[in-house]
Structure 1
Amino acid sequence: MVSTAAVPNLAFRRLRGQRSAGEFAAAVRRAAREIGEQVACDARYIGRVESGEIRCPNYAYERVFLHMFPGASLADLGFSARESVRGRGARVVSEPPPTTGPGPTASAPPPSTSRPPSLSPSRPAPLHRDTETDDFPEESDVLRRVFMTSGTTTVAAASLGLGGAPASARISLPTQRRVGEAEVNAVEKAVRQIRLLDDRHGADGLYRRAAQPLRTAYELLDAGTTARRATSDRLHAGAGELAISVGWLAHDSGRFDDARSHYAEALATARLAGDAGLEAHAFCNTSFLARDAGRPREAVRAAEAGQRAARTLGSPRLLALLALREAGGRAGLGDRTGCGRAIGRARAAFDRGTAAGDPEWMSFFREAELELLEAQCWSALGDWSRAARHGRRATALQDPHFTRNLALYRAQLTGDLARAGRADEAAATGQQVLDLLTRVQSSRIRGMLAGAARVLEPRAGAGPVAAFLTRHQESAVPGIPAGPGNADGDPGR
């Protein structure tokens, strides 16, 4: 069997112009409605087309695209003839070897990481979906692939590590094969390592490179059969947790549309597998994202749905975190009473202590995080002094090994102190954040610090504030806007 690497669809990319992938996807959906078609187009689908994974669209998309671009043929849009992409006996996931020519343009969006949430994890994907690539030169030194073999078939081990260029690899997944312990262990290992790397280094350098293990996990779900139900359940849970982890990397690096798609995919996987724990986790992160995206009412609804899913899991700490997600949404609505009640429920549940039902991903949720999340609620309600008190406790309690969270907690505190009128203390805390940003890559944290710096600018005459603002300006990364004043902590990836 011969496999070929995907060729980016540059013609389709040119048609998108200056619009974002999400904006272009919205235009596709509008065009579909004009001709009575229904397509679930999102930014990920546009990414798959532009990366060359989708070499020929299905008939519905074909009609929509030809309606959008009258007089054009599929070839004009950069697609292959339908007959040339049908009848494959296997699907191929590959990462192309390094080339000496130029890589993808900086303006091209990251390729999608998986199929739409509406596609069942157990149903094979359409045959016209072909090769995916994720070869972005600017991040090629962030992670390397480690591959493992199982029987006679090579599969992605989804093991990640820092340093070194990615090894070239091509992995063939027959349409029918058995998935065993090795494959499931590899998916679970990928989840743990992504969380570990994010804790140490932040999300910005990890997102695109972490996409390959996620794609491989869903390839295993799509193409494989398992000998035991327990193995299948673990694979579904692992793939869903991986979708949440990659979604968080997108979230923390400012790719909200991508994050929303990943979280929705995890929720769909949870519903299909009947996994209440995964469902609660997906709702938890969806609530967090909705709040950051300025949709506080949706944040409350998602948090409440997560609490319903979590009631039978025997984890008071999980219920506490979900109550805090609800509190954050209510703070965004200006509902001080509802926010206070949710915080009270969260503290009562937290005080019940750890339990056997606590999920592995909640290892970050300690007293420091509780204080930080409460600080953010008061910050959102404009009670800066109260927010700063909780923020100081959070930074004092935080484990220094969680470098990213320590930077984030201090960035939150910097903003609250600045808004509370404690300029010198804010400047000193901001300097500590800048020290940590030499090791942490997070657009979220830089955005929060930029917001605090703007608050301090009127006090820039001399002393600690002037020194901080000068250093902050010198270290600024172009294109990083100020983030929300109450940006959240570790989301429970």
Structure 2
Amino acid sequence: MTGNELLAAKMAAAGLRQHELAQALNDEIGTLTGRPGTLQDRHVRNWLTGKTRWPQERQRRALEAVIGCTAQELGFIPPSRSTAPPSLPPEESVRRRTFAGNVVGLVAATALPPLPATSYRRIGMSDTERLRVAFADLVASDNVTGGTPSLETRAVAFAHHAMELQAVGSASQRVRARLYELAAAFTGTALWAAVDSCEPERAQRHLERAMTLAGLSGSAEITLRLWGHAGILARQTRQFNDAVAAATAARASAACRRDPLFRSLAHARLAGAYAGAKRPTDALRTLEHAIKAFDGADPHADRPVWMGFYDRAELHGLSALVHAGVGRHDEAEAHLHHTLSLLRPGFNRNRSYYRSHLALAQLRQGEAEQACTTALSVLPTQPGDSLTERTSRLLTEFTAGLNSAAPRARCTTEWMDQYRPRRPQ
């Protein structure tokens, strides 16, 4: 018997817990039959573990109405010679499934570890190790492609799977803390993917859930990561005071007190928040603290896999954003050249992102022709290639600035000829 991965991922994408889904279905059954349903969270758990493979008819109809998918699309398997009830009208089905956006259609590609073969067993560190490996794979995928809806969906599904392990087995306190930490880590990756996709409402929901899980885990490192993402989300929505507050909270983390590299990252992000809040003196002073802490860190210390992105190249990149934020575009350009020369293979998303910033820095110094050359190197060249929404918006900003600064220049015409057919849709 294997778990129902599709249902688990659909619930996770909707932010539904077992008891919440049960209550929603009971309400829908009441609408359909005139009498509320009697489902409890144990019924949902039986669906998730695979113990119940085909719900009753009224339950299937309620699931279709609430989630917007047929029972088969939710991973249920009908008995032989059984016919499923008719679907809802297409327009109603489409309306109901908007809760999950575009991401749930990609759930089938999520390779989740199986739930325990029995309804209750001992959960151990081997289970958490499998999830740790899956988390490392997601981090690597993010470095290459950036925050895509597919990655967000996979991260949410794995977070839900970690919490399912909490529910279906016994475990030591150490294992339970680790499961909470992994669930927070996966949810944090979903948060980051939503930020990279410029979906602030989804990101905020992930943030709230991840913070709860991180608190239950007691992990200072995961909490630091989440405060960092919260600050970037606040800057994206132009809540600059909130960005400063989040970055300040990250800097106060116990992880920063223990490890200079964590402290360096927190200082660098706080400097960026100060730059966005138009506090240039604080921004540049805090950036100096980031550089000093980085120089004092042990590069070979054991750290979480998500921290692997923060190296000298990333410090130069974050420094460039600070200098650009305070109007020092020549300094920003210098740091960006260092970033691009130091970036390791596999960090494709960051390469495109920082090249876009380099084009903007050059344009703001009046170097329109050089800026166009740089920007052209960012555009996708192969069918199927794409940019994250954050990078796409930088190119939109670049295009507007170029048309304003040099509307009649040959390089502007050449850029527009190349940009229009290849710009992300």
The verdict on a shared fold, with TM-score over 0.5 as the criterion, is yes
Partner residue of 2:417? 470
Q: Which structure 2 residues correspond to residues 143-222 of structure 1 after superposition, within 5 A?
A: 143-148=109-114, 150=116, 152-153=117-118, 174=119, 176-206=120-150, 207-222=152-167
Point out the structure with the larger helix share: 2
1:237 aligned onto 2:181: yes
Aligned to 2:94: 105
TM-score normalized with structure 1 length: 0.68
- Amino acid across the alignment from 1:309: S
2:304 is matched with which residue: 348, 354, 359? Answer: 359
Offset at 1:435?
A: 3.8
1:343 correspondence with 2:283? no
Indicate how the Cα distance of structure 1 residues 410 and 80 shifts in structure 2: closer, same or farther if over 3 A, else same.
farther
Cα pair 1:204 1:442 within 8 Å, conserved: yes
Indicate conservation of the 8 Å contact 2:25/2:39, yes or no.
no
User: Once the 2 structures are TM-superposed, how far is the Cα of residue 251 of structure 1 from its aligned partner?
Assistant: 1.1
| Counterpart secondary structure, 2:170 | strand
Counterpart position of 2:212: 268
Give the Cα separation in 1 of the matches to 2:38 and 2:25: 13
Q: 1:275 to 1:324 in 2, by over 3 A?
A: same
Q: Which amino acid aligns with 2:39?
A: V
Whether 1:254 and 2:198 are equivalent positions in the alignment is yes
Q: 1:216 to 1:453 in 2, by over 3 A?
A: same
Moved more, 386-395 or 345-354: 386-395
Alpha-carbon separation, structure 2, partners of 1:140 and 1:308: 37
Alignment partner of 1:54 is 2:21: yes
**Conserved in 2, the CA contact under 8 Å of 1:317 and 1:358?**
no
Change (3 A) 1:57 1:416: same
What are the within-5 Å matches in structure 2 for residues 393-404 of structure 1? 393-404=338-349
| 1:442 shift after superposition | 0.9
Q: Which residue of 1 aligns with 2:42?
A: 88
Alignment check: 8 A CA contact 1:110 1:134 kept: no
Distance 1:364 1:475, change over 3 A: same
Q: Distance in 2 between matches of 1:280 and 1:407?
A: 26
Task: Give the Cα–Cα distance (whole angstroms) in 2 for the partners of residues 144 and 473 of structure 1.
Answer: 34
Task: Please say if 1:444 is aligned against 2:390.
Answer: yes
CA offsets, 1:2-60, max 9 Å, x none? Answer: x9987xxxxxxxxxxxxxxxxxxxxxxxxxxxxxxxxxxxxx999457xx97353499x
State the shift of 1:225 in Å: 2.6
Shift of 1:445: 0.9
In structure 1, give the amino acid aligned to 2:42: R
Please give the alpha-carbon distance, in whole angstroms, between the structure 2 residues aligned to 1:108 and 1:177: 34
Separation in 1, partners of 2:342, 2:254: 27
Does the 8 A contact of 1:314 with 1:356 survive in 2?
Answer: no
Report the Cα distance in structure 1 between the residues aligned to 2:389 and 2:34, rounded to whole angstroms. 38
The answer as to whether partners of 1:315 and 1:355 remain within 8 angstroms in 2 is no
Question: Is 1:421 the counterpart of 2:366 in the alignment?
Answer: yes
Q: Relative to structure 1, is the Cα distance of residues 310 and 204 closer, same or farther in structure 2, using a 3 angstrom cutoff?
A: same
Residue equivalent to 1:485: none
* CA deviation string 1:143-199 (max 9, x = no partner): 34254465x34xxxxxxxxxxxxxxxxxxxx4x543223421222122111111111
Task: Give the Cα separation in 2 of the matches to 1:279 and 1:445.
Answer: 26
Amino acid at match of 2:412: V
Equivalent-residue separation in structure 2 for 1:147 and 1:269 (angstroms) = 20
Closer, same or farther: CA 426–183 of 1 in aligned 2, 3 Å: same
Partner of 2:94, secondary structure, is coil
After superposition, where does 1:112-131 map in structure 2 within 5 Å? Answer: none
1:291 aligns with 2:258: no
For 1:391-415, what per-residue CA distance to the aligned partner results, in whole angstroms no more than 9, with x for missing partners? 2221122123211111111011112
Quick one: distance in 2 between partners of 1:363 and 1:331? 25
- Whether the aligned pair in 2 keeps the contact of 1:403 and 1:440 (CA below 8 Å) is no
Q: Distance in 2 between matches of 1:80 and 1:319?
A: 59
Query: Partners of 1:255 and 1:234 in 2: how far apart?
Result: 29
Amino acid at match of 1:188: R
Residue 259 of structure 2, aligned match among 288, 291, 315: 315
What's the C-alpha RMSD, in Å, of the aligned pairs? 3.7
Distance 1:229 1:140, change over 3 A: closer
Instruction: Please name the residue that 1:11 is paired with.
Output: none
Distance 2:96 2:272 in 1: 34
**Partners of 2:180 and 2:136 in 1: CA distance:** 16
Structure 1 distance, partners of 2:397, 2:204, is 24
Which of 301, 304, 319 is 1:374 aligned to?
Answer: 319
| Structure 2: gaps of 5 or more residues | 51-72, 77-83
1:266–1:278 contact (8 Å) kept in structure 2 = no
Contact 1:55 1:80 in 2 (8 A): no
Alpha-carbon spacing, 1:425–1:392, altered in 2? closer, same or farther (3 Å): same
Q: Secondary structure at the match of 1:401?
A: coil
Distance 2:327 2:33 in 1: 53
Deviations 1:312-335 (A, max 9, x none): 663211111111111111111100
Query: Deviations for 1:191-221, whole angstroms, at most 9, x for unmatched residues?
Result: 1111111112222242234432222122223
Measure how far apart 1:436 and its partner are: 6.4
Cα pair distance change 1:347/1:81, threshold 3 Å: farther
Asked if structure 2 preserves the Cα contact closer than 8 Å seen for 1:96 and 1:135, the reply is no
Please state which structure has a larger fraction of its residues in strand: 1
The answer to whether structure 1 residue 327 and structure 2 residue 327 are counterparts is no
User: Could you tell me whether the CA contact under 8 Å between 1:300 and 1:329 is conserved in 2?
Assistant: yes
1:393-448 CA distance string (max 9 Å, x none):
21122123211111111011112222222111111111110046863441111111
Query: What whole-Å deviation, never above 9, does each CA across 1:120-146 have from its counterpart, x for those lacking one?
Result: xxxxxxxxxxxxx9741xx468x3425
Q: 2-side partners of 1:110 and 1:412: how far apart?
A: 34
Distance in 2 (CA, whole Å) between partners of 1:464 and 1:455 is: 13
The two structures have a TM-score, normalised by structure 2, of: 0.78
- The answer on 1:388 being equivalent to 2:366 is no
Identity of aligned residues (%): 23
Cα distance in 1, alignment partners of residues 134 and 95 from structure 2:
27
